[in-house]
Amino acid sequence: MAPTWFGRSATILGFLVTLALCSCSDASRRALLKENSMLERHEQWMALHERNYKDVAEKEKRFNVFKDNVKYIEQFNKAGNYPYKLSVNKFADLTNEEFKATRNGYKGLCLEDKLARASSSFKYVNFKYVNVSAVPSTMDWRKKGVVTPVKDQGQCGCCWAFSAVAATEGIHQLKTGKLISLSEQELVDCDTKGVDQGCNGGLMDDAFKFIMSNKGLNTETNYPYKAADTTCNAKEASTHAAQITGFEDVPANSEAALLKAVAKQPVSVAIEASGFGFQFYSSGVFTGPCGTQLDHGVTAVGYGVSDDGTKYWLVKNSWGTSWGESGYIKMQRGVSAKEGLCGIAMEASYPTA
């Protein structure tokens, strides 16, 4: 990429020359140095995340966003007002508005609120864990070999598929003792009957309905992820590596009910994940701020209590391992709002097998 290399060298050279010729004050000299190191930082970040911009104007625009984000993140961490840290991750050249704009932006989010609420069918009929009275004080389904490695949905708004697949992988392992990575792409391509719309969003419950009516789901290996809407491969979709017998909704707005379910198996949950804190979450217990406009589907794979006594849900995301704690987020548990933090207790569900 000769033009990029040239652009970079020229920019940095420009700053060095300016600095050398500058008969300016120490303050402006420092400002120049700072700007220069920020430019270098952006270059390094671009290389790390293999980011190329279409022209100089776009690069300058992205640099300014990057700069603002870095400043915000550093101030946030330095202030230390929250029990979690932020980091300059792969979303660092997106404004929060762009991050939220699932149709044009990164598309990491996927459950538009409209869509989530269109699920008028969301009401529990049976909750098989209703009588569970004693649950372990902590749970981590990863340690029990029930969770596949963190995946990356890329620029496709199909978090709903990743959430439903992770819950299905979990119940399949618990039933058969075999941990098999299953296909999200099969859901993206073939599950077109309900509200599910591939990369444009969908619902976990409708994904479970598809898996039931399709009589199972193929493996990730046989039906690999493309991060795009492609044609349903009917042959691969007719091969089944795992089956579910049904699904149940956790009684809404009850973290106590959710706890009973997560104590028994990984559970699909819908949350609001579009805030600045979520965009740049790096480690610790996430305590918000966030609302309850459900826009993302993830999977609760455990719960625990942090060293400082904060209770949390252990949540598997689908934004790759470079985001959060190796792809996971700890979200505060036991909040005063009945919906749970970011609405985590509003629309939880799990497959049965």
Ligand X SMILES: *[C@@H]1O[C@H](CO)[C@@H](O)[C@H](O)[C@H]1NC(C)=O
User: Which segment (40-48, 126-134, 269-277, 308-316) binds ligand X by CB under 6 A?
Assistant: 126-134
Count residues contacting ligand X (CB under 6 A)? 3
In the complex, the smallest distance separating the C-beta of residue 128 from ligand X, rounded to whole angstroms, is 5
Alpha helices in 140-270 (DSSP H): 159-176, 184-190, 204-213, 234-237, 255-262
Q: Which residue is nearest to ligand X (CB)?
A: 131
* Cis-peptide into 83, omega within 30 deg: no
Catalytic residue among 110, 156, 159, 190: 159
Distance set, CA 120 to CA 34, 88, 160, 291 (Å) = 53, 38, 17, 20
In the complex, the smallest distance separating the C-beta of residue 348 from ligand X, rounded to whole angstroms, is 17
| Tokens encoding 83 | 């029990």
- Is 317 catalytic? The answer is yes
First CA to last CA distance, the chain: 51
- Residue nearer to ligand X on the CB measure, 327 or 351: 351
Q: What values do phi and psi take at 182, rounded to 5?
A: -105, 170
- Residue nearer to ligand X on the CB measure, 13 or 130: 130
- Residue nearer to ligand X on the CB measure, 22 or 130: 130
Catalytic residue among 42, 69, 89, 296: 296
- Residue nearer to ligand X on the CB measure, 127 or 276: 127
- Residue nearer to ligand X on the CB measure, 120 or 131: 131
In the complex, the smallest distance separating the C-beta of residue 129 from ligand X, rounded to whole angstroms, is 8
- Residue nearer to ligand X on the CB measure, 82 or 124: 124
Taking the C-alpha atoms of residue 263 and residue 94, their distance in angstroms, rounded to an integer, is: 37
Closest CA relative to residue 227, chosen from 296, 273, 164, 158: 158
Taking the C-alpha atoms of residue 271 and residue 204, their distance in angstroms, rounded to an integer, is: 12
- Residue 304 pairs in a beta bridge with 312
Contacts of ligand X in 285-314 (CB under 6 A): none
Task: Report the number of secondary-structure helices (H) and strands (E) in the chain.
Answer: 11, 9
User: Which segment (125-133, 173-181, 183-191, 209-217) binds ligand X by CB under 6 A?
Assistant: 125-133
User: Which segment (124-132, 192-200, 222-230, 243-251) binds ligand X by CB under 6 A?
Assistant: 124-132
User: Which segment (1-9, 123-131, 137-145, 264-272) binds ligand X by CB under 6 A?
Assistant: 123-131
Contacts of ligand X in 127-146 (CB under 6 A): 128, 130-131
Sign of CA dihedral 196, 198, 204, 210: positive
In the complex, the smallest distance separating the C-beta of residue 344 from ligand X, rounded to whole angstroms, is 23
In the complex, the smallest distance separating the C-beta of residue 131 from ligand X, rounded to whole angstroms, is 4
- Residue nearer to ligand X on the CB measure, 48 or 130: 130
- Is 240 catalytic? The answer is no
Alpha helices in 137-232 (DSSP H): 159-176, 184-190, 204-213
DSSP state of 149: P
Sign of CA dihedral 230, 148, 257, 259: negative
Phi-psi region of 303 (alpha: psi -120 to 50; beta: other; left: phi over 0): beta
In the complex, the smallest distance separating the C-beta of residue 125 from ligand X, rounded to whole angstroms, is 11
Pairing type for strands 281-286 and 267-271 reads unpaired
Contact flag: residue 47 with ligand X (CB under 6 A): no
Q: Which residues bind ligand X (CB under 6 A)?
A: 128, 130-131
**Which residues are catalytically annotated?**
159, 296, 317
